[in-house]
Amino acid sequence: MKSLRKFVRIYLIPGAVFQSIIVGGGYGTGREIVQYFTRFGPYGGLLALIVATLVFGLVLSLTFEIARRFRAYDHRAFFRILLGKAWFLYEAIGFFMLMLIFAVLIAASTKALEDSFHLPSWFGMALVFGLVGVLQFFGRDIVMRVLAFWSLVLYGVFITFLIRVFDAIPEEIAAAFATGGIESGWAVSGFKYAMYNSIAAPMILYVARDFENRDQAINSGVFASAIAVVPAIIFHIAFSGAEDNAVNADIPVYVMMNTYSMGFLTIAFTIMLFGTLIETGAGILQGVNERIDSQRKENGSQRLSEWGHTGVAMGFMGLALAISSIGIIDLIAKGYGTMAWGFFAVYFVPLITIGTWKLVRPDP
């Protein structure tokens, strides 16, 4: 039993937390999958997903091992090792990316409740703020447990969705893969997708506290990459046979469910998606609070109280609320793509150069 708990904490929870965070920022709606994968054709999308998986595996493995080796369990401490005095560059770019993610979160969650349950947008916003605030109040352990549990729920609903789609349009999916080509640009798109989603890795370094050696850190990164990408593959296969009105919608998954009369699954998916959006906000904001507490400790102050953590979360969510009016499609297509190259410069390049060098050099 002890070995099973250890396996779960080292190899499953990091992947579940990472997946939970990246799913909510547009992945769970299906919008990201169409934008960065499906539009390149059935096989072009799969190739782009392979690129994203490989990049995620590399980034997560190196990030987890640096965090373990140097005991850097928040993003400020991590980037002080990676960038030295230029550590603030990640936060400068990361702040805008967080605002985009939270804006998509708010827009998607309120639209999901409105479309499925005809609830007013203000109710959805209040529910998002309230649930994220509660999770921040109770702290790291609760956040990690909830994210891990909800990842299992997510997998169950996604697999059921794929089965129902195969049952509804088996010929269309088969025809798409039989005749589908490969549109140019798939490699860059898969790389961009991995780059902007990589913001989540330094935000979840609190999961690295249980790693005892290099093998655990690296293997956990590989596991996390696979756990995160499998649902994207499920969506891509389903969307490959879908009609244009579905793939061009703000939330393609709902259009498909309504088109093919999936009934109860639509309700289950709405609940799953809403919970996943809450997870995304809670998981990222836990990383923000870890960073604040680390700096306060460095300065000789006490960590923030539970109410202080909740206040930080509400402040970030409030700023994002104003951005959410732009719309899901534009936020994902324009905002996310632009941020990808910023993270490439301040995170990916230093990680595979400076980070690798610091890992392989002998201890002083």
Q: How many CB atoms lie within 10 A of CB 296?
A: 14
Is residue 289 scored above 80 in pLDDT?
no
Cα–Cα distance measured from residue 279 to residue 273, given in angstroms and rounded to the nearest whole number: 10
- Residue 327: its H or E element: none
Q: Which residue has the tokens 């997903």?
A: 49
Domain containing 256: what range?
2-360
- CA 102 to CA 79: how far, in whole Å? 23
CA distance 126 to 133: 10
Angle between helices 42-70 and 13-22 (to 10 degrees): 130
**Burial class for 288, CB neighbours closer than 10 Å (0-12, 13-18, 19+):** buried
* Cα(290)–Cα(72) distance, integer angstroms: 11
Residue found under tokens 């798939």: 186
Per-residue pLDDT at 255 exceeds 70: yes
| Three-state secondary structure call for residue 344 | helix
Neighbours of 325 (CB within 10 A): 9
**Number of independent structural domains in the chain:** 1
Per-residue pLDDT at 147: 66
Residue 37 scores a pLDDT above 90: yes
pLDDT tens by residue, 211-253: 999 999 999 999 999 988 988 898 899 888 887 777 777 778 7
Q: Is 219 exposed, middle or buried (0-12, 13-18, 19+ CB in 10 A)?
A: middle
pLDDT at 78: 92
90-112 pLDDT, tens digit each:
877 777 777 776 676 677 667 76
Residue 191: its pLDDT value, please?
Answer: 93
For residue 245, how many other CB atoms are within 10 A of its CB?
11
To 10 degrees, the CA torsion angle through 303, 95, 333, 227? Answer: -30
Measured distance CA(280)–CA(227) in Å, rounded? 16
- The CATH number linked to 32 is 1.20.1740.10
Ramachandran angles phi, psi of 87, nearest 5° = -60, -30
